[in-house]
Amino acid sequence: MSSTTATAERTRTRIDLDWVRRNGVYVALVALLLFNVVATNNFLSERTLMLQLIQVTPVVIVALGMALVIGTEGIDLSVGAVMALAAAVIPLYIGYGAPLAILAALTAGLLCGALAGSIIGFVGVQPIVATLGIMVAGRGVANLLGGEIKSIREPGFVALGTGEFLGVPYVVLIAIAISLAVWFVARRTIYGRQLVAIGGNPRAALLAGLPVRRVIITTYVVCGLLAAVAGVLMAARSQASDPTKLGLLMELSAITAVVIGGTPLSGGQVRIVGTIAGALLLQLITATLIFHNIPDSTAQMAQAVIVIAAVYVQLGRRKGSS
């Protein structure tokens, strides 16, 4: 009788933990929204809400790419440096027009992703090591190309960061379009299913004849490309390229958004909606602390605590299911 009760208790605990892992980010997001509605002046004003959406845009875009990478049981520490590199390329080509400059910046991000994916897929280097090297090299190249903060005043490029359509900023519309596209790719395409299978069991996926290397390289290319998009949008928004600070610690924010959104670091799953909710939660935590005059450094500490708690929940689930 006692054994049956203990088994039932363990099952209930495992179910509760799984529910927290799947839905905790939404509960926390709603709770924080309600708190700000009650305790923060003018929180529901259009200007405040739109500003929050604009500021979260780079994290959402980068986190979507990171979610795909983590789905393959990988990780990409170079996304912040790729953002800086893409922004540093803009001033070099802006004299030929905004489209060519943006194309060059996106190409830089694509090449960084292809390099990371090739090192991981063909050479077999651990993702954390390969992308750490690209992070250091990418930031160095960005500083070499940019050197210092450079203003970008080309009207077409500036409009990308400041323009609106029906009252919604272009950067927000771009983030929504990318979110829908990534969701479709992850949930409705053969590539998305192969990505999840490879992340769940790479050895079995290889034996089953799945194109493991091609999927891994493609995933890192997509991640690098999305990081470059985020870098371009941040440069357009600020009308400047700052190779030293642009994208700094973005990898931490992206990984945190993915983990608290329910995508396990062990791979095999990709939760796009949860990732977006995780990015929104991080932004709202930072904004809430600022609204109430709490130092920004506290927000970073809170972010660290959140990611540790999320990883703890995931580890607890794995132990419970083993």
Q: Which of 98-102, 144-148, 167-171 has the lowest mean pLDDT?
A: 144-148
Category of 75 on φ-ψ map: left (φ > 0), alpha (ψ -120 to 50) or beta: beta
Global pTM value: 0.89
| Cα of 178 vs its chain's centroid, Å | 12
pLDDT exceeds cutoff 50 at 310: yes
Q: pLDDT at position 5, please?
A: 63
pLDDT exceeds cutoff 70 at 319: no
Compute the radius of gyration of the chain from its Cα atoms: 20
Query: In the predicted model, what is the mean pLDDT of residues 80-91?
Result: 95
Chain segment 37-46, per-residue pLDDT in tens? 998 888 889 8
Q: pLDDT at position 149, please?
A: 82
Query: In the predicted model, what is the mean pLDDT of residues 185-211?
Result: 91
Q: pLDDT at position 265, please?
A: 86
pLDDT exceeds cutoff 90 at 291: no
Chain segment 129-145, per-residue pLDDT in tens? 999 999 999 999 998 88
Cβ partners under 8 Å of residue 229, min gap 6: 61, 86, 106, 109, 174, 178
SS3 content of the chain, % helix, strand, coil (to 5): 80, 0, 20
Query: In the predicted model, what is the mean pLDDT of residues 23-31?
Result: 86
pLDDT exceeds cutoff 70 at 11: no
Q: What is the Cα–Cα distance from 191 to 219, expressed in whole angstroms?
A: 9
Query: In the predicted model, what is the mean pLDDT of residues 147-155?
Result: 84
Q: Which of 27-36, 75-84, 270-279, 299-308 has the lowest mean pLDDT?
A: 299-308
Would you state the structure tokens that stand for residue 233, as one six-digit string?
Answer: 């949008």
pLDDT exceeds cutoff 50 at 1: no
pLDDT exceeds cutoff 90 at 84: yes
| Other CB atoms within 10 A of residue 135 CB | 22
Would you state the structure tokens that stand for residue 140, as one six-digit string?
Answer: 């160095």
Environment class of residue 194 by beta-carbon count within 10 Å: exposed (0-12), middle (13-18) or buried (19+)?
buried
